[in-house]
Amino acid sequence: MLVFHTIKESAAPTAVALGCFDGLHIGHQKVIYRAVAGHELGLSPTVFTFDASPLSDLCGKGAPRLMTNSEKLHLLEKLGIEQVYMPAFSEVRDFSAEDFVTKILDGMFHAQRVCCGFNFHFGAGGRADSEELARLCASRGIETLIVPEVDVDGLPVSSTRIRALIGEGRVEEAAGLLGRRFGYTFPVEHGRQLGRELGMPTINQRIPEGFVLPRFGVYASLVRVDGRVYCGVTNIGVKPTVGSDHVLSETWILDYGGNLYGRAIPVELVGFIRPERKFDSMDELKQAVYENAETARRMVKSARFGE
């Protein structure tokens, strides 16, 4: 898959999916699939997105992210996308809607099909909507496919709804909207070795500022290491028993004892076990962690999404 961090001319005619696509939930995927279907027409399935939320540029701070750019690119490639344009929002911020269609979609991408969601906005100030996109594209002979709202349990699927569910610890419901388990891939850092002293070594991963924060507490998890999938017990929080001042994901990978320091390891949250709490003794903490491990094994075994 080709990835461009600035706007360049496409070497082939394209079917372009437009959007921020944070989380790449099941609604986003419907947009992506329509672009991928353009391959049958000889078009290169292409995504136009941004390296950060436009709100970060306009307001200085965007909504917490559901995935990193590297995770987004990895999933887009799995979905069948051949090209991704991921420039800074500032590169197109001042384009009028008409200029965006004529100079970028037509002039640079040679788009013959453009796909977006029903609530897509573009052009300077975000003043143009999906209907305006269809009108402008039609004037250039470009097909436009607009994906309608996707509902689950009577409510629209959206990145905002998913962030709220994750913040409440309802990761199983979030998985239903994402079409996969919510997870993250961050480098493993050195910790205080407390888990190793207790006979349950953990991997510590700092959750960066600007990334969505799950509800603090203990989760059943799945951890992918060297092509194998392991059950895990993950604590999200500030480590109240030993003291800490930043949000950390600390995972005991059951049935694994290798050294993962410095490696970016994928962790997927399967289900919420209990809130974070402080223990009076290390023995009490150790007993609770073993109980969490048994609960985690049961939850992983019955999880909606397989390995």
pLDDT digits (tens, 9 = 90+) for 24-44: 999 999 999 999 999 999 999
CATH number at residue 228: 2.40.30.30
Residue-range definition of the domain harbouring residue 65: 2-152
Residues 6 or more apart whose CB falls under 8 angstroms from that of 281 comprise: none
The answer to which of 63-72, 170-179, 221-230, 233-242 has the lowest mean pLDDT is: 233-242
CA-nearest of 249, 277, 254 to 264 is 249
**pLDDT (0 to 100) of residue 282:** 77
Catalytic center residues: 250
> Is the domain of 146 the same as that of 188?
no
pTM for the model stands at: 0.91
On the question of pLDDT at 172 being above 60, the answer is yes
Residue 69 predicted with pLDDT over 70: yes
Together in a domain, 193 and 72: no
Q: What was the pLDDT predicted at 280?
A: 75
Name the percent of the chain lying above pLDDT 90: 78
Whether residue 161 is contained in a domain is answered as: no
Residues 132 and 191 in one domain: no
Residues 268 and 127 in one domain: no
Strand partners, 48: 18, 85
* pLDDT on residue 150: 97
Mean residue pLDDT across the chain:
92
Say what the pLDDT of residue 97 is. Answer: 97
Using DSSP bridges, classify how beta strands 248-253 and 228-237 pair: parallel, antiparallel or unpaired: antiparallel
Q: For residue 274, which amino acid is it? A: R
Segment 117-168, tens digit of pLDDT: 999 999 998 899 999 999 999 999 999 999 999 999 999 999 999 999 999 9
CA atoms in the 13 A half-sphere facing the CB of 12: 14
Closest CA to 285 of 259, 256, 250: 250
- What pLDDT, on a 0 to 100 scale, did the predictor assign at position 259? 87
CATH of the domain at 118: 3.40.50.620
User: Residues 276-288: pLDDT tens digits?
Assistant: 888 777 788 888 8
Which tens digit of pLDDT belongs to each residue from 85-123?
999 999 999 999 999 999 999 999 999 999 999 999 999
